[in-house]
Structure 1
Amino acid sequence: MDRKTARDYLLSRPEALEDFPFGPEVAVFKVKGKMFALLGNREGVDSINLKCDPDEAEALRDIFPGVLPGYHMNKRHWNTVLLDGSVPDYEIERMVDRSYGLIVKGLRKVEREALELGYGADTIYR
């Protein structure tokens, strides 16, 4: 997956917004003001930071060489995924959906319900 494809997929999540609080090189993706992804560059390679269940985060690091502990993030809850072709696109999409779902799950009930009414729970939590 390349940077443009990753950006397009991130923005396709319901009510996802892109922001640049750290400058023009690092894009932060949020839903209802909460970050679910960060798209940047690590040592010359485009990468994406995604929230993850701690047990799943470790398992993904063991399976894929392009999945590393979250760069400049809480390494227990965040992974950095290198967009270098070492992780299949479908797996990156699954990780994005999981990160988005974890953030939505932590929203206030009224915010969660508004998303579910507009898009259906299966879209948000897949």
Structure 2
Amino acid sequence: MTPAALEKLCSGFPGSRQEFPFDENTSVFKVAGKIFALTPLAAKPLRVSLKCDPDLAVQLRVAHPAITAGYHLNKRHWNTVVLDGSVPDELVREMVEDSYDLVVSQLPKREQEKLKWIALSSE
């Protein structure tokens, strides 16, 4: 996966915003002010940190050497994925979507409804 493809993927979810709160090199993707992905898009190799269900996070780490506990994040809830080609792009897409969905599921119902409306109005 290329940096442009990762950026497009993360930006494509309803209500997603890209910010740079830490430095000009680290893209932080948020929904309703909550982080669901962090990536230094210029890093080589490219990597992305994603929120993950704790049980699934451990399974993914065991199955894929390029998936490790979240770098500088809560290691129970976050994974960092090195996008060196060893993790299939489809799995990366699923992990990004799961991260977004996890964050959205923890939002107040009112915020969730707003995001559904945004998704419907962009179709």
Partner SS, residue 59 of structure 1: helix
Query: AA paired with 1:33?
Result: G
Residue of structure 1 in register with 2:91 after alignment? 91
CA distance in 2, matches of 1:68, 1:10: 20
Aligned to 1:123: none
What residue ranges of structure 1 are gaps of 5+ in the alignment?
Answer: 121-126
Are 2:34 and 2:103, in contact at CA under 8 Å, matched by a contact in 1? yes
Please name the residue that 1:51 is paired with.
Answer: 51
Q: Aligned runs of 1:1-126 on 2, under 5 Å? A: 1-40=1-40, 44-119=44-119
Q: Which runs of 5+ in 2 are unaligned?
A: none
State TM-score, norm by structure 2: 0.91
The alpha-carbon deviation at position 119 of structure 1 amounts to 2.2
Offset of 1:118 from its aligned partner?
3.2
Q: Matched residues in 1 for 2:17 and 2:119: separation?
A: 16
1:39 deviates by 0.8
The separation in 2 between residues aligned to 1:73 and 1:86, in whole angstroms, is 23
Paired residue type of 1:101: D
User: Displacement, 1:44?
Assistant: 4.0
> CA-to-partner distance for each residue in 1:46-71, whole Å, 9 max, x for gaps?
11000000000000001111101000
SS at match of 2:46: strand
Q: List structure 1 runs of 4+ shifted beyond 4 angstroms.
A: none
Q: TM-score, normalised by structure 1?
A: 0.89
Measure, in 1, the Cα distance between the counterparts of 2:100 and 2:81: 15
Matched length = 120
In 1: Cα distance, 2:12 partner to 2:44 partner: 26
Letter of the aligned partner of 2:37 in structure 1?
A
Tell me, yes or no, if the aligned pair for 2:40 and 2:46 is still in contact at 8 Å: yes
Question: Are 2:28 and 2:39, in contact at CA under 8 Å, matched by a contact in 1?
Answer: yes
Q: Partners in 2 of 1:56 and 1:11 — Cα distance?
A: 24
What's 1:124 paired with?
none
Q: Is this contact kept in 2: 1:69–1:79, CA < 8 A?
A: yes
| Shift of residue 15, structure 1, vs aligned partner | 1.2
